[in-house]
Amino acid sequence: MRLLLSLTALAAAAHPALAGEPARPPNVLFIVSDDLNCDLGCYGHMVVKSPNLDRLAATGVRFDRAYIQYPVCNPSRTSFLTGLRPTTTRVMDNATHFRRPLPDAVTLPELFRKNGYESIGLGKVFHRGLSPDDTKKEMDDPRSFDRVLYGQTTAAGNKGDGRNLTGGTLAWCRWLAAEGADGEQADGQLADEAVKVLGEKRDKPLFLAVGFYRPHDPFQSPKKYFELYDSSKFDLPKSPEGYKPPYPLSLAGGALAVAFDGFTDKERREFLHAYYAGISFMDAQVGRLLDALDKNKLSDNTIVVFLGDHGYELGVRNWWNKNTLFERSCRTPLIVRAPGAKGNGTPSAALAEFIDLYPTLADLCALKDVPKELEGASLRGLLGDPSRKHKDAALTVVKRGPVLGRSVRTERYRYTEWDGGSKGAELYDHATDPGEWVNLADKPEMAKTRAELSALIKTTEAGAKR
Ligand SMILES: [Ca+2]
């Protein structure tokens, strides 16, 4: 289906002044939020306030079963920005610069640049250090962007009420209800800059990537976003009596697990409160970008993509982090609004992978010289008809020390193998167990299903190359 083939023609039709002139390629606004799970209003969360993402979802296609390929920043971002699976990129930690194993890869922003776009990267698009105040630029990729800006929280923005929930044992789990306005925080500065960029006149089409740091740790946002929530009313996540994960959530003796085990209910409420405040803060910045598109009359000719770089357990299984092969870590928000797409306003339950984003945008913008080795498939058909099927499975992998876990999600099941199954396997039936609490992998009646899913891991990973 070529429903969007005439996207540029549609845009021209929306601007009669352009009729008769060569169609201008659409702009792209590519927004990434760090460590954002699906706890958003538009994904059915009853507490979190995300009015701006809700309005984007209402005017685009919200993907309800979109899965990242690795539940940690650098491997995930490397994967969706190169269109390659982590088993292909071999980037499976936060320390490896993707140019080391992939010196010749053409990244998504780089391809836009090669196609005559102005490519601008604000904030954490590729992986960066631990916080926006980390000025190390070790993950920069100068080939990808004409211009970059990272933002830096001011001294005033680093003051306020808060604490480290591990008592300072770890550098993690810090929250701060900060003094000052949004612009004292790096994310507010990124939105300021993005609004400026969107107001500029330019001859070239624009690829603008904005990588917000929130809701990632440190859970630091202006105080007014904390005031949106009453933490005494939160439901705390609970595990079934006697539950133990079939495979450890972290390496033995992992400091995070020890810290989480020590959390009191008060600390759990503080954690939820600060994470939700971070979502609302980030959401407000997204709202400013959407407003700027409207104000500059760019909405009719700009594709907006919003995504998290992976999910977050947020206390389920008492794991207050990512890095698992469960639904909460692997399933991630994805909203695509392409001007003129017939599916806009309708959610899609089709299985989608984040490696599909690269070919989707290349397809929608009719880019030339698209790398042949991309491993995803364009979502264009779903933007026209969100009810159709896209693929049989979504694959996510994670390293746990030397052991590689591979997890495949189908319409009904999640099946995970650790080192090809030699170190264990997990099988969950989402029709009866959406929380993934009951491992069916060793049930004799599930042997055939397990064998089919095991084969599906291999065929999905091998994939159909373009
Ligand atoms: Ca992340």
pLDDT confidence band for 132 (50 / 70 / 90): low
CA 458/CA 162 separation, integer angstroms: 47
Can you give the pLDDT at residue 252?
77
Can you give the pLDDT at residue 130?
53
- Find how far residue 442's CA is from the centre of its chain: 33
* DSSP H stretches of helix in 90-159: 108-114
Give me the amino acid identity at 184. Answer: E
DSSP string, 25-36: PPEEEEEEEET-
Can you give the pLDDT at residue 14?
43
- Taking domain 7-392, whether its CATH number is 3.40.720.10 is answered by yes
Expressed in angstroms and rounded, the spacing between residue 86 Cα and the centre of ligand 1 is 15
Can you give the pLDDT at residue 464?
58
Can you give the pLDDT at residue 139?
75
Spell out the residues 6+ positions from residue 334 whose beta carbon is closer than 8 angstroms to its own: 62, 63, 66, 305, 306, 307, 308, 352, 354, 357
Expressed in angstroms and rounded, the spacing between residue 71 Cα and the centre of ligand 1 is 8
Full 3-state SS string of 154-187: CCHHHCEEEEECCCCCCCCCEEEEECCCHHHCHH
* pLDDT at residue 190 is higher than 70: yes
Phi/psi for 62 (5° steps) reads: -90, 125
Asked if domains 7-392 and 402-466 share a fold, the reply is no
For 66-82, the pLDDT digits (tens) are 999 999 999 999 999 99
Expressed in angstroms and rounded, the spacing between residue 92 Cα and the centre of ligand 1 is 13
For 3-19, the pLDDT digits (tens) are 444 444 444 444 434 44
What are the boundaries of each domain within the chain?
7-392, 402-466
Quote the tokens at residue 255. Answer: 């400091």
Spell out the residues 6+ positions from residue 18 whose beta carbon is closer than 8 angstroms to its own: 11, 12, 24
Mean per-residue pLDDT, 386-409: 97
What dihedral do alpha carbons 39, 42, 46, 51 form, nearest 10°?
100
pLDDT confidence band for 357 (50 / 70 / 90): very high
* pLDDT at residue 1 is higher than 50: no
CA 284/CA 74 separation, integer angstroms: 25
Expressed in angstroms and rounded, the spacing between residue 309 Cα and the centre of ligand 1 is 5
Expressed in angstroms and rounded, the spacing between residue 310 Cα and the centre of ligand 1 is 6
pLDDT confidence band for 329 (50 / 70 / 90): very high
Question: Quick check: 271 and 315 in contact, CB under 8 A?
Answer: yes
CA 33/CA 76 separation, integer angstroms: 12
- DSSP code of 24? P
CB burial of 277-304 (b: ≥16 within 10 Å; e: otherwise) equals: bbbbbbbbbbbbbbebbeeeebbbbbbb
Question: Quick check: 299 and 339 in contact, CB under 8 A?
Answer: yes
Can you give the pLDDT at residue 140?
81
Strand extents, DSSP E, 338-401: 348-353, 394-400
In this prediction the pTM is 0.94
Spell out the residues 6+ positions from residue 44 whose beta carbon is closer than 8 angstroms to its own: none
pLDDT confidence band for 307 (50 / 70 / 90): very high
Mean per-residue pLDDT, 386-395: 97
Can you give the pLDDT at residue 182?
98
CB burial of 369-390 (b: ≥16 within 10 Å; e: otherwise) equals: ebbeebbbbbbbbbbbbbeeeb
pLDDT confidence band for 22 (50 / 70 / 90): low
Phi/psi for 431 (5° steps) reads: -70, -30
CA 352/CA 359 separation, integer angstroms: 12
Mean per-residue pLDDT, 243-253: 90
CA angle 241, 242, 247 (to 5 degrees): 125
CATH topology of domain 402-466: Arylsulfatase, C-terminal domain (3.30.1120)
* pLDDT at residue 433 is higher than 70: yes
State the catalytic residues.
Answer: 73, 127
Any bridge partners for residue 397, and if so which? 406
pLDDT confidence band for 372 (50 / 70 / 90): very high
Phi/psi for 23 (5° steps) reads: -65, 135
Mean per-residue pLDDT, 35-42: 98
Quote the tokens at residue 207. Answer: 């690829």
Q: Report the first-to-last Cα separation within the chain, whole angstroms.
A: 18
pLDDT confidence band for 253 (50 / 70 / 90): confident
CA 153/CA 2 separation, integer angstroms: 45
pLDDT confidence band for 133 (50 / 70 / 90): low
Expressed in angstroms and rounded, the spacing between residue 370 Cα and the centre of ligand 1 is 27
Query: Token pair 């939700």 is at which residue?
Result: 276
- Find how far residue 189's CA is from the centre of its chain: 21
Question: Quick check: 34 and 216 in contact, CB under 8 A?
Answer: yes
Cis peptide before 218 (omega within 30 of 0): yes
* pLDDT at residue 415 is higher than 50: yes
For 53-63, the pLDDT digits (tens) are 999 999 999 99
Expressed in angstroms and rounded, the spacing between residue 383 Cα and the centre of ligand 1 is 26
Give me the amino acid identity at 264. Answer: T
* pLDDT at residue 2 is higher than 90: no
Long-range contacts, stretch 16-24, CB < 8 angstroms, 24+ apart: 24/205, 24/301
Can you give the pLDDT at residue 184?
98
